[in-house]
Amino acid sequence: MASANSDSLDIHSVFSVQELIKEPIISVPQQYVHLNQQNPTVSEFTGPLPTLPTIDFKQLVSVDTTDLELERLHSTCKEWGFFQLVNHEVCSSLMDELNHEIKQFYNLPLEEKMKYMVRPDDFQGYGKAKLEEKLDWGDRFYLITNPVHHRKPHLFPELPPSLRNTLECYLLELQRLAMKLLGFIAEALKMDLKEIEEMFDDGMQSVRMTYYPPCPQPENVIGLRPHSDATGITILNQVNGVDGLQIKKDGFWIPVKFIPDALVVNVGDILEIMSNGVYNSIEHRATINSEKERISIAYFVNPKFEAEVGPATSLINPQSPPLFRSMRMEKYVKDFFSRKLCGKSFLEHMKIESTEEATLLDGN
Ligand SMILES: O=C(O)CCC(=O)C(=O)O
Ligand SMILES: [Fe+2]
């Protein structure tokens, strides 16, 4: 066990923040200190703090209101890349159950959780995929859940049965929701519905369950460092209702308020690419609370491994040439995970450079 204020951490403490704080600490070990995380602060924002728009799923599906809500969906994905989704039809008792099960999981003794630890040369499992110089203040469990034959035998099938069953039900509900949402997104973008359906049908899906312990110096740590999601869309469930998510808007970090029963949806890099830059995959991060633990589960929705990730053919024409290169999903995932989860670097990598773009334009 780590002693208070020790900068030389034992392996368990590096592996799990939850273990590290089992004995009260007064200051944060150096490996976890991220300086200047708070800049620019929201207090520098002039005028009232903007609030993340809310999209009402009920209005999207209802014939009377669908056009107006589609317009709102479109402008929100362009201007914010994030929204709160209400009336999404995912049963609230299922959300409560999931909340309970994830808490139970993180309450298991470390030895139990270590059964699922990330193995060398892998990125799935409990714990950190690689030990970086600077560590985030959170314990993660990442696993690919779809296609089912991609599930690692020692992960999903070996989860405690009640967590596994609840998660399975939750995933089915979210899968249904995600496909409907993607359909509305295709409509809003005026892209071929078949194109999006074919790409995402039985696509690669994964979840990240994160436990963010409280920290006595929250301003010196970061729960999840700034990043954009490499996904099609992400559906985030702020499981225990504690705030912490922040998104970067016009250069400022804006907090996302927890709304009971709402899910937070965001445009990922792949949707930015598919929309040929019409939608934006926004940088976000998770901050830490000084007193309360925070738990979230992010569900990542992606095209199938065989799909070609690139600007949708139905959106490309001589007036709107492709701004991103195309790549098979399988390679995209492999290349992405061999990089660091930080900043928008991978999306930048997918951008067509100006000389290449010029050649393409010439060819048109
Ligand atoms: O926990 C959160 O609020 C954010 C999680 C997230 O951004 C992610 O897992 O990619
Ligand atoms: Fe994220």
Q: Which ligand is nearest to the CA of 142?
A: 1
Q: Which residues of 174-185 are buried (b: 16+ CB within 10 A; e: fewer)?
A: bbebbeebbebb
The residue whose CB lies within 8 Å of the most ligand 1 atoms, and thus the one to mutate among 234, 281, 289, is: 234
Assign 46 a pLDDT band (cuts: 50, 70, 90): confident
pLDDT of residue 150: 94
* Helix-then-strand count for the chain, H and E: 12, 14
Report phi then psi at 254, rounded to 5.
Answer: -105, 125
pLDDT of residue 47: 75
> What proportion of the chain, given as a percentage, has pLDDT over 90?
75
pLDDT of residue 121: 85
The whole-angstrom separation of Cα 176 and Cα 12 is 39
Question: What mean pLDDT value characterizes the chain?
Answer: 89
pLDDT of residue 212: 97
Strand, helix or coil for residue 77: helix
Amino acid at the residue 127: G
What ipTM was reported for this prediction? Answer: 0.99
Q: Is 119 exposed, middle or buried (0-12, 13-18, 19+ CB in 10 A)?
A: middle
Question: What is the mean pLDDT of the segment spanning 22-31?
Answer: 88
The whole-angstrom separation of Cα 79 and Cα 247 is 12
Closest atom of ligand 1 to 208 CA is: 9
> How confident is the model over 87-117, as pLDDT tens digits?
999 999 999 999 999 999 999 999 999 999 9
**pLDDT above 50: residue 347:** yes
The whole-angstrom separation of Cα 113 and Cα 110 is 5
284 lines ligand 1 (CB under 6 A): yes
Tokens of 161: 């049965």
**pLDDT above 50: residue 287:** yes
125 lines ligand 1 (CB under 6 A): no
pLDDT of residue 251: 87
Where is average pLDDT lowest: 22-31, 138-147, 260-269?
22-31
> What proportion of the chain, given as a percentage, has pLDDT over 70?
88
pLDDT of residue 41: 57
Domain 32-362: give its CATH code: 2.60.120.330
Domain boundaries, the chain: 32-362
Of the candidates 142, 196, 126, the residue with the CA atom closest to the CA atom of residue 337: 142
Assign 38 a pLDDT band (cuts: 50, 70, 90): low
